[in-house]
A = this chain, B = another copy of it.
Amino acid sequence: MTSGQCLMIVIGLGLLFLAIKKRFEPLLLVPIGFGGILANIPGAGLAYSAFENALHAGDVQLLTELASVLQSSAEDSIKGLVGAYAHSDASTRLLAEHLVADAGYTNGILYNFYSVAIASGIAPLVIFMGVGAMTDFGPLLANPKTLFLGAAAQFGIFATVLGAVGMTSIGWMDFSLADAAAIGIIGGADGPTAIYVSSMLAPDLLGPIAVAAYSYMALVPMIQPPIMRALTTEAERKIEMVQLRPVSRREKIVFPLLLLILVALLLPAAAPLLGMFCLGNLMKESGVVDRLSDTAQNALINITTIFLGLSVGSKLVADKFLDLNTLGILSLGIVAFAIGTAAGVLIAKLMNRFGSTPINPLIGSAGVSAVPMAARVSNKVGLESNPHNFLLMHAMGPNVAGVIGSAVAAGVMISLVGG
């Protein structure tokens, strides 16, 4: 066992501790942490492809053959051959895979899970459908202006992109623009969106990005309140908001379709994410396919979550995770959360100044999404200043707006950087 594998197993156990004892997003961190341990079992190769397993365990003859197929010099290290493989064209890769298969090497089981669940893009989309089927757009429809708060909080995403490229330009890290975009999405506070984007733009960084996204989502009750208190006055925190109007069932049915049409017209790159989200929501609100909606919210999302978590865990393999970049990602991620929170609160203050109906700026922080944790934080901080002021339903508006906002940001990233 290398020291790296040992360290990663300890990190996996640490994630399990946080998930089980501290209740940090346990639904994801239990399978991720466990998958991380499985991925680092020495000699088992569960997280490696057949090709990587052959490189780690193969004899000299096989390695020489592979090197000749990949037109790489035979003295190359494993890393060299992996690199040569990655840069070969598809037919050369196929040839190498044949050699490896004939020598009896197979994909590790976590590698298979990753291919089916994440590389194909299916698991995050299915989870997004389930989240859609659990989302109530009522508060958002009652007060559509809160969509601006969901937009504002996405500033954390783009500020982080700038931070990542800045760190690269001063030589601290080595991120490409695609890497920076994927790292920024951590600030969207939305697990499946972050996984979807990084599987497309920066699959190598998926492990740390997913771990950062879920960990910081769990830390929202610790990260946000100081920022919220620092940026608001006591008087602002006491603002009571007018009660939300009732929303008709028809509006709730039409809204996901409206959103879908807007996406179709303006932002096709966000269509998979927001499309599946809208489908889930439409299944729920239409009231005619309760069977499907229930399954999307239960059996299907649970099954997918297990395999998604294990697949993310497969990216915690030591030689990919233990890297200076991971530290960079973790520190950029928390900055993204902080900036998003601040931007949400500040824009809420601005809207309050220029709008007619009063807005408590504390609900601005809920715009980062992290549903429903961030909305609960808004409510809790509000109650500290005014024990009769329940902001929860008001904060749900920006909260679900934040989900839409970061999916839109994801679409923009993919269309600008991934093309």
- Taking Cβ atoms with an 8 Å cutoff, the residues of A that contact B are 1, 9, 13, 16, 19-20, 23, 26-27, 30-31, 34, 37-38, 40-44, 46, 89-91, 94-95, 97-99, 101-102, 109, 112, 120-122, 125, 129, 253, 257, 260-261, 263-265, 268-269, 271-272, 275, 278-279, 282-283, 286-289, 291-292, 294-296, 298-300, 302-303, 305-306, 310
Shortest CB-to-CB span from A276 to chain B, Å, is: 8
Task: Knowing A16-B257, A271-B38, A288-B19, say if A90 contacts B102 (CB, 8 Å).
Answer: yes
The complex places the Cα of A41 from the Cα of B279 at a distance, in Å, of 15
Whether A295 pairs with B289 at a CB distance below 8 angstroms is no
Identify the closest chain B residue to A24 (Cβ): B288
Q: Which of B109, B120, B279, B288 interacts with A23 by CB under 8 Å?
A: B288
**Considering the complex of A and B, which 8 residue pairs feature the smallest CB-CB distances, nearest first?**
A90-B98, A295-B302, A44-B268, A26-B288, A299-B299, A43-B268, A41-B264, A44-B271
Report 8 cross-chain contacts, Cβ distance below 8 Å, ordered by A residue.
A9-B261, A30-B283, A37-B264, A41-B264, A41-B268, A90-B98, A129-B306, A299-B302
Work out how many copies of this chain go into the complex.
3
- A268: B residues at CB distance < 8 A: 41-44
- State which of B90, B122, B306 has its C-beta within 8 Å of the C-beta of A109: B122
Determine the distance from Cα of A122 to Cα of B121 in the docked complex, in whole angstroms: 19
Q: How far is the CB of A244 from chain B (nearest CB, A)?
A: 25
Q: A90-B101, A295-B299, A296-B306 are in contact. Are A30 and B286 (CB under 8 A)?
A: yes
Q: Within the complex, which residue of B89, B282, B300 is in contact with A303, where a contact is CB–CB below 8 Å?
A: B300
Using Cβ atoms and an 8 Å threshold, which residues of chain B touch A125?
109
With A288-B23, A289-B26, A302-B291 known as contacts, the answer to whether A271 contacts B46 (CB < 8 A) is yes
Given contacts A288-B20, A303-B299, contact A272 B109 (CB under 8 A): yes
A38–B276 Cα distance when bound, in Å, is 9
